Amino acid sequence: MKIGYARTSTTEQLAGLEAQVRDLWAAGCEKVFQEQVSGASTDRPQLAAALEHMRQGDVLMVMKPDRLARSTADLLGYVKAIQAKGCHLIVQSMGGQTLDTSNPTSKLMLTVLGAVAEFERDLMKERQAEGIAKAKAEGKYKGRKPTARNQTEAVRALEAQGISRTEIAKRLGISRTGVYRALGIVKD
């Protein structure tokens, strides 16, 4: 059975997620798991569900290696876990080529591509840090706008209705800590 996994980092990347899902179905996947969560997050329930769903002989298919993992070590860890189940990974869109971990050459290429992607991400983070430092030095950096504080009235209204703080966080798309901050229970 071909099982697809699609991921984007944010909800703003809906078109990217839809394109991955479409391409996975077109590649013959019989089931597709999808989620919108950071690749750096350790809490990816749909990936866990996809891996749990796999049985010996199945294939996990992703469109690009960075949809599965952000680091070479994590990528190889997933490959190892998939192979331990008697399955393999296929990375579909690699410049017209398909990488299939059931053969050694593709495993080597996947390792190299994973390392290049990790290197590229590290360079991006370095440039971002330099830009932030420059903006701070020029007095232009304001940081990320607080999301929970912008919803203080909504948080208080929901709490007044007797809704749990966990449910408030889910409904408003903020963290539980953000709910506590909005209620004035946790200080910065």
- DSSP 3-state assignment of 89? strand
Contact 182, 155 (CB under 8 A): yes
Q: Does the annotation mark 71 as catalytic?
A: no
Please identify which of the residues 9, 41, 71, 106 carries the catalytic annotation: 9
Residue by residue, DSSP assigns 92-158 as EEETTEEEETTSHHHHHHHHHHHHHHHHHHHHHHHHHHHHHHHHHHTT----PPPTTGGGHHHHHHH
Catalytic residues: 9
